[in-house]
């Protein structure tokens, strides 16, 4: 099977979907992203990334119930798939392996 690579932003959005565990939609994912990373991004950027992740098979979505505070509109809730879960595990393992290769004193002050 050919591996599909994720960009850094896609990886972060996929992690947020996993963290929110089926309760994530565009707004909550944007808010969680800002809260946990300090990154401020537009809803459109998050939405487009979610659609791209869905097209790649890393997330699925379904419409939730309508709410009065949303003017009767329904939320599109995102959930990580088994493929998305595997991708995050592979990324985590790859990063851990690379960190282990880094000489211990490389990131000390004065080694730039």
Nearest to 62 by CA among 72, 37, 2, 54: 54
pLDDT digits (tens, 9 = 90+) for 63-82: 877 666 666 678 889 999 99
Range of the domain at 56: 8-101
The contacts of residue 70 (CB under 8 Å, 6+ apart) are none
pTM, entire model: 0.83
| 23 inside domain | yes
- Identify the CATH number of the domain in which residue 79 sits: 1.10.10.10
Helix or strand or coil: residue 78? strand
Q: How many domains does the chain have?
A: 1
| 24 inside domain | yes
Q: Is the pLDDT of residue 15 over 60?
A: yes
Nearest to 80 by CA among 88, 90, 72: 88
| 50 inside domain | yes
| 52 inside domain | yes
């Amino acid at each position: 099977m050919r591996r599909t690579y994720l960009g850094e932003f896609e990886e972060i959005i996929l992690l947020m979907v996993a963290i929110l565990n089926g309760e994530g939609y565009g707004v909550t994912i944007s808010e969680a992203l800002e809260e946990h990373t300090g990154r401020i991004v537009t809803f459109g950027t998050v939405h487009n990334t979610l659609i791209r992740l869905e097209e790649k098979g890393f997330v699925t979505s379904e419409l939730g119930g309508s709410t009065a505070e949303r003017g009767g509109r329904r939320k599109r809730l995102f959930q990580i798939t088994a493929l998305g879960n595997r991708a995050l595990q592979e990324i985590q393992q790859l990063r851990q392996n690379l960190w282990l290769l880094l000489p211990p004193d490389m990131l000390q002050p004065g080694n730039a």
